[in-house]
Amino acid sequence: MLSQAVILVGGQGTRLRPLTYRLPKPMIPVLNRPFLEHTLAYLKSHGVGSAILALSYLPEAIQSHLGNGANHNMALSYAVEASPLGTAGAVKNAEPYLEGTFAVLNGDIFTDLNLDAMLGFHRSRGAEATIALTRVDDPCSFGVVETEEGGRVRRFVEKPSPDQVTSHWINAGVYILEPEVLRHIPQASHYMFERGLFPRLLELGEPVYGYPFSGYWLDMGTPEKYLNLNCDLLSAKVISHLIPDLSRDGVSCAADTVIHPSASISGPVVIGGGSRIDRGARITGPVVIGADCRIGEGASLERAVLWTGVSIEAGSRLKQCLVNRSETGGKEQVISFGQP
């Protein structure tokens, strides 16, 4: 069983920028709870008792919310970067907190990967580094990992062009590492796992393995994928250990939610506290409604996520979209993806 993990809490993320001007990406609400809380619950389910959060963008927002981790039954430490250090550089910055074998997770990945099984594979191979691999149809936007029989990594191809694709197994952003590999990472320098440490370990002949798995994996790096994650959780396509008892057809709402008797709500739907659903409104799940929202008379929502404090005007029809309050003027900002 692993006892420690490093979570790479990245920057603003250009693809999610409409949602992350003043909020670090891992603090974006998923089912009305910060995404990072779902990650901590996942780690806890695998017996991880302490985590180090590698922070760069708006670290105070995360530190003030999570504190020492007591509310999540996990000891939390913070390794804050004065300037972005890259994926491997961020872990090097967290080295003073590390003892023994540890896991590393990218802070924008949601997965049901079995960490215990991956650790067993890692130890059975005598690996210095083991990389979780997931299969995708189009690997051109990812880091492709070629392996030999038995799983030992042969080479890496970062974001190959279509004519360079030799494998559909990609780096899933979850690693199990031995502390010795950190000696190959320069101190206080920008350094990447993908283009720096892992290729360097191969050059040195160190045992680096790929661990393929076929479970759920999603990089919520775009608004559309973020919407898909919320809908997948609501529909029980994957389970969050933070909210394990959701029903795929149910309606979960806070006690102080006000719902007009003529409103129609078909699950799966989650409604935050202080929200109000007016006369004749129709909500067809999967839908997430944040705290203190108001759905106007006769409005319709389908496959949507609303952040805190959103007001939907009477008669509005919203489908396949995200809605939050803009940073200027407090007006609603709708990000729509057309028909599913």
CATH number of the domain residue 286 falls in: 2.160.10.10
For residue 151, pLDDT over 80 is answered with yes
Report angle CA 76, 194, 227 to the nearest 5 degrees: 65
Catalytic residue among 92, 159, 237, 331: 159
Residue 302 included in any domain: yes
- If we measure between CA atoms, which residue out of 100, 98, 113, 18 comes closest to residue 51? 98
188, 275: one domain: no
Domain count, the chain: 2
User: Does 259 lie in the same domain as 119?
Assistant: no
Share of the chain above pLDDT 90, in %: 74
Whether 318 maps to a domain, the answer reads yes
Q: Residue 261's pLDDT is what?
A: 97
Global pTM value:
0.93
In a domain, residue 126? The reply is yes
Query: In whole angstroms, what is the distance from residue 11 CA to residue 79 CA?
Result: 14
Residues 194 and 269 in one domain: no
Q: How far apart are CA 142 and CA 160, in angstroms?
A: 8
User: Could you list the residue range(s) of the whole structural domain that residue 322 is in?
Assistant: 247-336
**Same domain (yes/no): 143, 58:** yes
Average pLDDT, the chain: 91
Residue 16: inside a domain, yes or no?
Answer: yes
pLDDT (tens digit, 9 = 90+) per residue, 44-78?
999 999 999 999 888 999 999 999 999 999 999 99
Distance CA 253, CA 173 (A): 34
159 tagged catalytic: yes
Distance CA 253, CA 236 (A): 17
Distance CA 160, CA 190 (A): 23
**Taking the mean position of all CA atoms in its chain, how far away is CA 259?**
31
130 and 179 in a single domain? The answer is yes
The reply to whether 212 and 262 lie within a common domain is no
Hey, what are 48's tokens? 């991880």
Residue 94 lies in a domain: yes
Query: Mean per-residue pLDDT for 193-218?
Result: 96
Question: Does 199 sit behind a cis peptide bond, omega within 30 degrees of 0 on the bond before it?
Answer: no
DSSP 230-273: HHHHHTTSS--TTSTT--TT-EEE-TT-EE-TT-EEESSEEE-T
Letter for the amino acid at 56? S
What is the residue-wise DSSP string for 271-307?
E-TT-EE-TT-EEEEEEEE-TT-EE-TT-EEEEEEE-
CATH, residue 173:
3.90.550.10
Residues 326 and 207 in one domain: no
Asked if residue 253 belongs to a domain, the reply is yes
13-17, 57-61, 155-159, 196-200: segment of lowest average pLDDT = 13-17
The predicted model gives 113-123 an average pLDDT of 97
In a domain, 229, yes or no: no
- State the residue for tokens 């130890």: 123
Task: For residues 207-229, give the mean pLDDT.
Answer: 94
Is residue 222 very low, low, confident or very high in pLDDT (cuts 50, 70, 90)?
Answer: confident
* Same domain for 211 and 267: no
pLDDT recorded at residue 325: 77
Half-sphere exposure of 214 (CA within 13 A, CB side): 0
Mean pLDDT over residues 330-338, rounded? 72
251 lies in a domain?
yes
For residues 190 and 75, membership in a common domain is answered with yes
